[in-house]
Structure 1
């Protein structure tokens, strides 16, 4: 049984478009109609400048040049580690995947080279370090292939012990260092493009509205601002001018598809809904100051990753790889993204002035 009278009281405040709560959100949206709205999905950023101006969209992840190629090398460590885990659980069931990985690694090594990274992939943020990247890729493929060949030929070689001693922490350059370098490079490239794109707008950051919408990588990842690489990009571009309380993580918010051929009509059609969503959150948040002025306000802060002393602090850098693997809120690829953003901001968004841990000053020797 329910009480119609008490249910009606509930619905007077919240329960539909014709309620006090909905009218509060609508009033807030109208008041903020001129403010810039930034909406980020797992792949793209949309900027709605306000006052009815059309949106623009910047793709920063899967559509980016070189992203999949670089990430394929980044994932060598987790791929080999996964084979070890499969062997521990299922015995020789790992062998078909091991043979396929070996074949793919050997093909990738043949395709790799300076011309590939400089002339074909041609990522602006990597200009001037293409040879170092090619050398790192060649070394990583060679070391991975050697480890896999031995694992396939020696019955008991594939193990957690050999994985760390001979591969991830092996000499002359640990594969762990390569993973740091490749994750850093991917984060640096995406951050460089996002910073440059947002800088061109000269935004009113103190009044900006930001939504990080939908799924960010694995289903449990990026659900807080300090575990989201996309939030890190936006905060970096703001250079401290965006109040953190104006950035909302909205994993259940509607998302737009990546525009095809520059057509942003479907993105523009979502502006009112997305502004209303942000405004409904903000309007409720601001009730706190109205209702409880004598009590301390909520201040969002805190980080989840360890500080890095320098680009050569591999105890902290590799330690992050473990922490983000074990923390379901985070993505392995974002383990050093915040460090890349910090370095770009400190160096005027010039990738050429950034030290890439695991690459800058590191010699990846040619392997047989």
Structure 2
């Protein structure tokens, strides 16, 4: 105890809020016992565990490790950001590392284009949600590599005219007469394909568990995405997918984001001992949070109540956008797969807003589209891939 602290008042402080024998600890334990029979769904950055309740063993889905094609698609979606980063590096130091980085990127880009094929996506990567689109994905990747290589060759030859954001936007990122498909559309397509694959598997898994969503306790634990991202349900793509999987029957007040709560490692060889040991800890975390909420309602009845809002409004955006001079604070609503102004606005938002997951620009939209189409990926329109005028595979020259 510090010299400036009062022992008597510190003892009073600990009577309620600190230590295993405090009133608060006793209340949390009692609340956990009251919810012992309720299903508990725990989501980490890599796994989802369902604890059915009453001491029954958990079931685990390793959704991140089973995400086929995530890194390959991310490699393509990151090309736009990589070129923009080269612009910044050149601006900071024209004689610095940008050239070596550009040459390394060009080398790996050429190797990737050579390795890309329909067979790669169909037979090796073989994501279930991509079935029927493998040729289209391979064609998109071939085109993306070709136009990026073309720009990189120019960058290395004439950096002073190419390494600026205006040229990059006008000749690579945005729609224009010299591009069959702009790279902004490719970024949306790759993000959507990743989000659709995650959502398809999570929805199918949740459907198979026969979850009573009205009683389910949901907690998302640990870091998901960049350190500042995904700390609210509006900015957490996995939380949005869980809400969609429940067909919006999970009450929003039963879903908590707890980035500092303990998680578990992906089980190896079917060993669920760590997952099982964590159940009482996370039940008490959820129940303790819930009972404090209920205390607030009981203590201050007659005053305005807190509401977490409407999960549908937040999931699909609270407003539409139509003008470049608008300022937004949340994801705007996507009106259709052809709503390119909104889709690209979302790309900007997830870059500028540190609360957002970079890959979450269209994850919520992909999940909702799957729900509306019976969780059948082939009947969902993938913006930036389906109905885009990609040139035939291998037909685009990378020469400047």
Give the shorter-chain TM-score range.
over 0.9
Kindly indicate whether the alpha-carbon contact (under 8 Å) linking 1:62 and 1:68 is maintained by their aligned counterparts in 2.
no
Aligned residue in 2 for 1:367: 396
Kindly indicate whether the alpha-carbon contact (under 8 Å) linking 1:47 and 1:56 is maintained by their aligned counterparts in 2.
yes
Kindly indicate whether the alpha-carbon contact (under 8 Å) linking 2:144 and 2:183 is maintained by their aligned counterparts in 1.
yes
Aligned residue in 2 for 1:161: 166
2:111 is aligned with 1:107: yes
Kindly indicate whether the alpha-carbon contact (under 8 Å) linking 2:369 and 2:380 is maintained by their aligned counterparts in 1.
yes
2:252 is aligned with 1:244: yes
How far is the alpha carbon of 1:250 from its aligned partner? 0.5
2:147 is aligned with 1:120: no
Taking structure 1 as the reference length, the TM-score comes to 0.97
Aligned residue in 2 for 1:51: 54
Q: How large is the RMSD of aligned CA atoms in angstroms?
A: 1.2
CA–CA distance in structure 2, aligned partners of residues 46 and 79 of structure 1: 35
CA–CA distance in structure 1, aligned partners of residues 197 and 35 of structure 2: 32
Deviations 1:140-187 (CA, angstroms, capped at 9, x unpaired): 000001100110011312221221111111511000000000000000
Aligned residue in 2 for 1:205: 213
CA–CA distance in structure 1, aligned partners of residues 129 and 105 of structure 2: 29
Kindly indicate whether the alpha-carbon contact (under 8 Å) linking 1:195 and 1:349 is maintained by their aligned counterparts in 2.
yes
CA–CA distance in structure 2, aligned partners of residues 28 and 55 of structure 1: 21
CA–CA distance in structure 2, aligned partners of residues 314 and 106 of structure 1: 29
CA–CA distance in structure 2, aligned partners of residues 158 and 62 of structure 1: 37
Structure 2 counterpart SS, 1:269: helix
CA–CA distance in structure 1, aligned partners of residues 94 and 289 of structure 2: 51
Kindly indicate whether the alpha-carbon contact (under 8 Å) linking 2:180 and 2:389 is maintained by their aligned counterparts in 1.
no
**Where does the alignment leave 5 or more consecutive residues of structure 2 unmatched?**
315-329
**Where does the alignment leave 5 or more consecutive residues of structure 1 unmatched?**
none
Kindly indicate whether the alpha-carbon contact (under 8 Å) linking 2:230 and 2:236 is maintained by their aligned counterparts in 1.
yes
Aligned residue-pair number = 368
Aligned residue in 2 for 1:145: 149
Q: 1:351 aligns with which of 368, 374, 377?
A: 377
Deviations 1:220-279 (CA, angstroms, capped at 9, x unpaired): 000110000010111011111111111111011011111122322111111111111111
1:77-92 matches, cutoff 5 A: 77-92=80-95
Aligned residue in 2 for 1:60: 63
Q: 2:43 aligns with which of 22, 25, 40?
A: 40
Over 4 Å off, 4+ runs: none
Q: 1:185 to 1:274 in 2, by over 3 A?
A: same
Aligned residue in 2 for 1:192: 200
Deviations 1:176-228 (CA, angstroms, capped at 9, x unpaired): 00000000000000000000001111111111111111111111000110000
Kindly indicate whether the alpha-carbon contact (under 8 Å) linking 1:70 and 1:186 is maintained by their aligned counterparts in 2.
yes
CA–CA distance in structure 2, aligned partners of residues 259 and 73 of structure 1: 30
CA–CA distance in structure 2, aligned partners of residues 319 and 221 of structure 1: 18
2:187 is aligned with 1:179: yes
Aligned residue in 1 for 2:32: 29
Structure 2 counterpart SS, 1:358: coil
Q: 1:225 aligns with which of 210, 229, 233?
A: 233
Structure 2 counterpart SS, 1:328: coil
